[in-house]
Each structure stands twice: as structure tokens, then as C-alpha cells.
């Protein structure tokens, strides 16, 4: 690098590197007073690197005169190649294999009958039983070992990382923060299967702690506890939520964690209750009959259509104008507008009653969309809209349209379309999904108006 021969630059770079890579901030405190590069620069005793003078005095903070300092956590370690790792593994295997004595089956050699007699000599069996009463050592040990209080967490014993071979495990230092002060001064080491869920890990911690300290009371309901990121001295970092109980523990790279009894408020915050129910749901899903599965799929289908509704889609439909003439148009529907474009084909395109202007409506101007009657394979559908400012292409116009529609009620107009039944249904559901999402003022107004009408009709019936 060109500047490596510049003493001033090197000095200031070293200084900045120290300050910026030291997380404890100690370097900064130590070096705050003596900014040697700055002093040198001000005294003019060294050749200042180019550009240093240009920097604004105001901005000349600690880091302004350095190149980007890369925060490389791995320092100078070069990642080992896969080959190297594999070679090492093979080497270990070889060493291990060398310790094992291998004995291959050898087909029997002929054996002299004497040898055979001697080797497989029949033992005389004593049928008379020993009269002296005997007891087994195991029975005695079992009797001496009183029935241990059953560890309520034994179900989690299988997550013990110490007892597993050939499966990935993780080591953590755990502070038992929910215990009285004198018991939680030191973390305890826990080895757990890397595949265990956080919830299962908590269970295993409880199991291990209870088996080592049988007199400590730990709640049997482990959902009360949460694992929190903890400093090396056992101080909980409350800025972070507890580890998600459904996640696999190996996802979290922390070596020190704290087990904390959560208050109901914490629990609500982390939604752990939801988590506990989840395995049940999973089990249910397994037990589901094909019918249920089909229902679920249908539900998912609805969900997907709703999700995809705002995506732009072009349909070819017929618009039915005032004189009941059908004109083929492109109906473009997207999350923020609906466009109607005539398709100029056929002989009638030039006739005036067959003319259809290309229009575009902002989706907030669209109030309603519903299916009409079905004729054979065709179905009509109606689009209700507020006609003013139908070219609402920018934000200003949109707001104008809104304010106007507030003042001028009952000014709804509608378009009638006709399309194949399937297409019509698809369009209507798509538009309705979008409208539900937006719930614009014109839609609200239209619905309110509809209700008023219905009410009036009702009251009319009553008063009759």
C-alpha cells in the first residue's frame, strides 16, 4: 500500500485500529489524551499524508484519517480446507482402527479327538442344590439404595450430550438464574445434543441439575423457564428476548446462557405458550383424515389467492355498455388500480356505440364487485366505482378523490362485464381480496349506503 511508508499515516492507522477493534473501549480511554498523530500533525514535524489537510477540522474525529478497518473476528486464521479436515478425520479413524484387534473367522482345522474331548469335556452337573442361603449383591445394593425421588425430568435424559457418540453435541455454560443467589454464582457445564430444541434443552438442564442437586426445587412445568443470552459473569442481557423454545439449540452460537423463571409478562412477550401447543398441533396434523387434509388444502388455496390478489393480472372480458353491446376489453387488475383497455378487433370497432375509452381507476375508487347472473358458460359481474378523478395516477389525485368521495355520496357508477364463469369468479374474488385489504373510504361509503337502503326497505316493511 502506497501509504505504508508514511509514518504519520501508519501511526494514525494503528491508533484507530486499536480504538475501533477493542470492544471493551479501554483502548479509547487510554489513548484519548495522547493523540500522537494529531500532535505530530499539528507540530508539523512529520510529512503528513496527502489528504489529511483537506479534512475538515470539525470532522477530524478519531477515525477519519484511516482506511476502513476490517473487523475480522478470525484474525489471521485461514479456514481449513475440506480436504485437510477429511484427511485429519481419516487419520484419526486409522489411529482408532489400529487400536482395535481384528480377528477373522478361520475355518476349523481338524482336531484330534483327544483335543476335542479335552476342550469340550462334559461338566458333571450337581443336581443337589446348595443349602446355604445366598443373596445377590445386586439385590443388596438395590435395597440399600432407597427408592430415589423420581427425577421429574427423566424424559429429557436422552438429550445428554455426554452419553452420545458420533452425533454432534454442544457445550454450554448455564447460570441457574432462577435459583437463590448463593446457588447461582457459578455456571455449570452442560453437554447437549445439537439437535435438541431449546425447550428440550431446558428440560435437560433441569434434569441434570436435579440429579446433581436433589434438594433443589425446580418447577416441573418447564415452560415457566426461558433461556437468555448471558454475559460471562452471569449477568442476563435483558435487551434480547429469550431463545425461541421451538428452535434447535445449535442455531444459537452463545456459550453462556442463563435459565430464568419468566414472569407472565415476559412469557406474553415471547409467546412461549404458543410454542408449547405446537407439538400437539403437529401430532394432530399427522392424525388427520384425507378429508381434513383436503379441507386444509382448500383453506390454503383461499389463503394463496388472497396473498396473490394484489399481483397484476390481465383478463380478456366483454364490457356491456349502455346500449347492451358487448365490447371486448382487457381488464387489468393490480393492487392499486384497475385498467380497462379496449381490444380493437372485429368489424364493429369503428362504430360509435362500440367505442370504449381506455380508462384506469385507482383501486381506492373501486367500491364493490359482485357476480351477476349466469348464462350458460358465461357469467356477468359488476364493478362499482366512484367516477370522479378516474385518472388517479399520482398521490395528489388520490387524496383528492378521497376527499371528494366523502362529500359527494351516492355518486357510484358501475360497469357490467361478462366473462367465462371460471374467469368471472376469479376476477371477482381477486378484486374483493384487494378491496378487503385496502378498505378504502369509497368502499366503506358504498357499504354504508347499501346498509341504509336495506334498513329503509326493512323499516318500510315494518311500517306498512
Contact positions vs another protein (CB under 8 A): 96, 99-109, 111, 115-117, 119-125, 127, 132-142, 144-145, 147-148, 154-155, 157-158, 160, 162-166, 211
Strand order in the sheet with 326-333: 359-362, 337-342, 326-333, 313-320, 413-420, 378-385, 366-375
Closest separation in Å from C-beta 136 to another protein: 4
Closest separation in Å from C-beta 199 to another protein: 17
3-state DSSP assignment of residue 195: coil
Nearest to another protein of 24, 139 (CB atom): 139
Q: CA 380, CA 426: separation in Å to the nearest integer?
A: 12
Closest separation in Å from C-beta 190 to another protein: 16
Nearest to another protein of 52, 157 (CB atom): 157
Q: CA 65, CA 27: separation in Å to the nearest integer?
A: 18
224 to 42, 178, 219, 267: CA distances (angstroms): 62, 10, 8, 8
Closest separation in Å from C-beta 220 to another protein: 17
Answer for the pair 126, 184: CB distance below 8 angstroms, yes or no: no
- Written as nine digits, the cell of 450 is 347499501
Helix (H) or strand (E) holding 415: strand 413-420
Nearest to another protein of 134, 265 (CB atom): 134
Nearest to another protein of 160, 425 (CB atom): 160
Closest separation in Å from C-beta 120 to another protein: 4
Nearest to another protein of 117, 436 (CB atom): 117
Answer for the pair 450, 422: CB distance below 8 angstroms, yes or no: no
Q: CA 251, CA 94: separation in Å to the nearest integer?
A: 32
Nearest to another protein of 77, 99 (CB atom): 99
Q: CA 188, CA 210: separation in Å to the nearest integer?
A: 12
Answer for the pair 248, 197: CB distance below 8 angstroms, yes or no: yes
- The residues near 438 (Cβ < 8 Å, ≥ 6 apart) are 363, 364
Nearest to another protein of 218, 329 (CB atom): 218
Closest separation in Å from C-beta 218 to another protein: 18
Closest separation in Å from C-beta 215 to another protein: 17
Amino acid at each position: 500500500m502506497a501509504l505504508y511508508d508514511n509514518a504519520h499515516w501508519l501511526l494514525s492507522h494503528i491508533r484507530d485500529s486499536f480504538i475501533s477493534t477493542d470492544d471493551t473501549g479501554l483502548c479509547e480511554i487510554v489513548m484519548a489524551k495522547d493523540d500522537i498523530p494529531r500532535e505530530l500533525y499539528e507540530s508539523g514535524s512529520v510529512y503528513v499524508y496527502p489528504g489529511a489537510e483537506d479534512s475538515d477540522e470539525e470532522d477530524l474525529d478519531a477515525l477519519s484519517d484511516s482506511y476502513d478497518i476490517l473487523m475480522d473476528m478470525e484474525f489471521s486464521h485461514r479456514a481449513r480446507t475440506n480436504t485437510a479436515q477429511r484427511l485429519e478425520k481419516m487419520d484419526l479413524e486409522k489411529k482408532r482402527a489400529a487400536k482395535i484387534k481384528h480377528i477373522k473367522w478361520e475355518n476349523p482345522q481338524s482336531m484330534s479327538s483327544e483335543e476335542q474331548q479335552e476342550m469340550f469335556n462334559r461338566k458333571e452337573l450337581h443336581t443337589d442344590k446348595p443349602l446355604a442361603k445366598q443373596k445377590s449383591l445386586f439385590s443388596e445394593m438395590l435395597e440399600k439404595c432407597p427408592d430415589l425421588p423420581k427425577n421429574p425430568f427423566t424424559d429429557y435424559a436422552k438429550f445428554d450430550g455426554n452419553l452420545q457418540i458420533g452425533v454432534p453435541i454442544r457445550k454450554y455454560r448455564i447460570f441457574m438464574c432462577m435459583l437463590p443467589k448463593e446457588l447461582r454464582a457459578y455456571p455449570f457445564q452442560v453437554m447437549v445434543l445439537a439437535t435438541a430444541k431449546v425447550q428440550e434443552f431446558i428440560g435437560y438442564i433441569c434434569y441434570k441439575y436435579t440429579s446433581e442437586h436433589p434438594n433443589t426445587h425446580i418447577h416441573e412445568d418447564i415452560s415457566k423457564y426461558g433461556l437468555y443470552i448471558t454475559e460471562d459473569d452471569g449477568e442476563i442481557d435483558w435487551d434480547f428476548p429469550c431463545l425461541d423454545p421451538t428452535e434447535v439449540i445449535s442455531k444459537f452460537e452463545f456459550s453462556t446462557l442463563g435459565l430464568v423463571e419468566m414472569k407472565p409478562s415476559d412469557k406474553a412477550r415471547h409467546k412461549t405458550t404458543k410454542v408449547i401447543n405446537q407439538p400437539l398441533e403437529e401430532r394432530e396434523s399427522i392424525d388427520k383424515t384425507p378429508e381434513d387434509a383436503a379441507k386444509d388444502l382448500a383453506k390454503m388455496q383461499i389463503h394463496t389467492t388472497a396473498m396473490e390478489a394484489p399481483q397484476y393480472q390481465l383478463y380478456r372480458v366483454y364490457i356491456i355498455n349502455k346500449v347492451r353491446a358487448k365490447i371486448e376489453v382487457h381488464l387489468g387488475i393490480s393492487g392499486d388500480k384497475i385498467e380497462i383497455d379496449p381490444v380493437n378487433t372485429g368489424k364493429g370497432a369503428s362504430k360509435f356505440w362500440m367505442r370504449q375509452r381506455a380508462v384506469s381507476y385507482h383501486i381506492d375508487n373501486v367500491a364493490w364487485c359482485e357476480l351477476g347472473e349466469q348464462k350458460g358458460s358465461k357469467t356477468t359481474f359488476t364493478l362499482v366505482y366512484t367516477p370522479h378523478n378516474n385518472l388517479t395516477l399520482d398521490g395528489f389525485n388520490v387524496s383528492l378523490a378521497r376527499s371528494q368521495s366523502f362529500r359527494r355520496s351516492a355518486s357510484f357508477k358501475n360497469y357490467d362485464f361478462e366473462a367465462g364463469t371460471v374467469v368471472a369468479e376469479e376476477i371477482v374474488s381477486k378484486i374483493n381480496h384487494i378491496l378487503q385489504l385496502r378498505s378504502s373510504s369509497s368502499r366503506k361509503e358504498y357499504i354504508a349506503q347499501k346498509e341504509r337502503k336495506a334498513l329503509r326497505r326493512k323499516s318500510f316493511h315494518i311500517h306498512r
